[in-house]
Amino acid sequence: MEQTHYYRPTTLEETLHLLATEQASLLAGGVLLVPFIHSQRLNRPAIIDISAIQELRIQVEKDGKLHIGPLCTMTLLANSQNPVLAKACSLVGNLQIRNQATLGGNILSGARYSDVVPALLLLDSSLVFQSLWGSRTVGLASYLAHKDQRIKKAELLVDIIVTPFPPKSPFFITKVARKQAGTKALVTICQIARQEGNRVSDYRLALGSATPLPARLTEVESLLVNPNTRKKGMLELETWLAENLAGKEYKQRAIYTTVERALIDLLGE
């Protein structure tokens, strides 16, 4: 059996050098990777454990944006000041999973069933990747939609940039799952609105575990936000659900009803 090399760098620079020279798997919280290690299913000769890099655990606010280090755990974020993220992270798995699972790991390896990625989509989030040769920033929606934007060899996710809504903006995050704790979502429905007086000036809707990857329904959003086109928006939603979730009537119903109720709460209609 071939030996696996284990590295535990403590700085970003050291990690980027290792990533540039080694064929390595990255280990963050280990929720997904550790079972692979135990069952000897890793197909790379090295592991780079990034958990000791303190600068990847930091959360800072700058120019109205929240910068979140990819090593922040679900537990940490479930107690954070951003209510949307806090709620989404509190829905992940069970306490043991949340204590280990990192935001970076959730986005990069678990996006399909993630409860957090749709919430990040609501907040127009971006990902910053760094390699020895430079850094690039890509919108999360674009990252998910375009394969050529995905993480490249020797890159590390170093920052998740979130654009918070004004404090007290109403939001609704609904996870539909089987009863047992720690099960993945059948569907996660995330909605947020910006209210100006009696008017809703911005409304956003994102779904997780429904489509192959989480997505915002921007066309439906723009119809639902306008009182004159709201009925049309609900019809569009119905059509979208029938086309994209054919045969999954329970998911269609859960999404439609949740959106309808949220709009009643928001608009009192």
Ligand X SMILES: Cc1cc2nc3c(=O)[nH]c(=O)nc-3n(C[C@H](O)[C@H](O)[C@H](O)COP(=O)(O)OP(=O)(O)OC[C@H]3O[C@@H](n4cnc5c(N)ncnc54)[C@H](O)[C@@H]3O)c2cc1C
Q: Can you give the binding site for ligand X, defined by CB under 6 A?
A: 25-33, 70, 92-93, 97, 100-102, 104-106, 108-110, 113-116, 151, 156-157, 182, 184
Between residues 154 and 224, which has the closer beta carbon with respect to ligand X?
154
43 vs 228, beta carbon nearer ligand X:
43
**Dist. CA 105–CA 145, nearest whole Å:** 18
Q: How far is the CB of 162 from ligand X (least distance, A)?
A: 16
Q: Whose Cβ is closer to ligand X: residue 37's or residue 267's?
A: 37
CB of 14 to ligand X, least distance (A): 14
In the complex, least distance from residue 20 CB atom to ligand X, rounded to whole angstroms: 14
Coil, helix or strand for 176?
strand
Q: What are phi and psi of 145, to 5 degrees?
A: -80, -30
CB nearer ligand X, residue 70 or residue 233: 70
In angstroms, the CA 132 to CA 19 distance is 8
CA 99 to CA 33: how far, in whole Å? 15
Amino acid at 67: H
Q: How far is the CB of 62 from ligand X (least distance, A)?
A: 20
Residue 7 parent element (H or E): strand 5-7
Smallest distance, ligand X to C-beta of residue 39, A: 13
Structure tokens that stand for 13 in this block? 């620079």
Least distance between ligand X and beta carbon 38 (Å): 12
| Residue with the CB atom nearest ligand X in the bound state | 105
Beta strands in 109-244 (DSSP E): 126-131, 134-139, 156-162, 171-177, 185-196, 199-208, 215-216
Q: In what order do the strands lie in the sheet with 134-139?
A: 59-62, 65-68, 156-162, 126-131, 134-139
Nearer to ligand X, 189 or 225 (CB): 189
Lookup: tokens for 45: 């000769």
Closer residue to ligand X, CB minimum distance, 109 or 149: 109
Backbone angles phi, psi at 262, to 5 degrees: -65, -40
